[in-house]
């Protein structure tokens, strides 16, 4: 669930970046909003996706990923923290050290949704990522046991170009050779039968 946090006046990007590292609020239209506290399953899925990207990218020298907590500027009054983001080699936004991405965009943003974050991830963040030109946005829907690959089209709208469900092995067309065994996303290893 996303709730308004106590705030007096308009909060800016600089205020958002200055928050403590463990502060999970995001900047939505000048207000700091509480984002749902991640569950164990949510964090496991983010970790597993990050691992799949690391296994794929490192031998290819293709780029790097960042998991939950790295802030991305949408505008002066909007900032988010994707569950996972990937930067390809050559993306100027990937250069240098920083505590947040103030300019540019990741090449991919991934959100792991839960029942209470559906509208936020499927509508609000989708619009935000499109507005800064993020080429791909993946939505991992835990309750539906599905992953969707959305690609930004001319005109600034995302189109679902690929989906995977249940026990599929997801092979994203834009990351040739990557395989994500979806069955591993839905259940923690000690809970599998």
Note the pLDDT tens digit of each residue in 80-123: 999 999 999 999 998 877 889 999 999 999 999 977 788 888 99
Q: Where are the domains of the chain?
A: 38-191
pTM reported for the whole predicted model: 0.92
Q: Name the DSSP class of 141.
A: E
Q: Mean of the per-residue pLDDT values for the chain?
A: 91
For the chain, the straight-line distance linking the first and the last C-alpha, in angstroms and rounded, comes to: 31
CATH architecture label of 38-191: Alpha-Beta Complex (3.90)
Instruction: Return the pLDDT at 1.
Output: 40
Q: How many CA atoms lie within 13 A of 68 on its CB side?
A: 20
Distances (CA, A) of 115 to 1, 24, 56, 64, 109: 9, 18, 30, 29, 19
* Residue-wise pLDDT tens digits, 30-78: 999 888 778 899 999 999 999 999 999 999 999 999 997 899 999 999 9
Averaged pLDDT, 127-133: 97
Which of 38-52, 117-131, 160-174 has the largest mean confidence?
160-174
Contacts of 180 (CB under 8 A, 6+ apart): 48, 49, 52, 147, 164, 169, 170, 171, 172
* Residues, the chain: 193
């Amino acid at each position: 669930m996303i709730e308004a946090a106590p705030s007096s006046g308009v909060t800016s990007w600089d205020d958002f970046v200055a928050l403590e590292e463990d502060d999970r609020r995001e900047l939505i239209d000048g207000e700091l909003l509480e984002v749902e506290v991640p569950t164990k399953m949510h964090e496991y899925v983010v970790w597993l996706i990050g691992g799949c990207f690391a296994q794929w990218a490192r031998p290819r020298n293709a780029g790097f990923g960042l998991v939950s907590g790295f802030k991305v500027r949408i505008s002066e009054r909007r900032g988010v923290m994707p569950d996972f983001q990937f930067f390809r080699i050559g993306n100027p936004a990937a250069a240098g050290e920083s505590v947040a991405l103030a300019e540019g965009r990741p090449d991919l943003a991934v959100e792991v949704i839960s029942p209470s974050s559906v509208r936020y991830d499927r509508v609000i963040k989708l619009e935000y990522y499109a507005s800064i030109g993020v080429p791909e946005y993946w939505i991992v829907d835990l309750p539906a046991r599905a992953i969707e690959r959305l690609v930004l089209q001319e005109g600034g709208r995302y189109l679902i170009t690929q989906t995977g469900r249940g026990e599929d092995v997801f092979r994203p067309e834009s990351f040739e050779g990557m395989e994500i065994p979806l069955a591993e996303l839905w259940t923690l290893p000690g809970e599998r039968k």
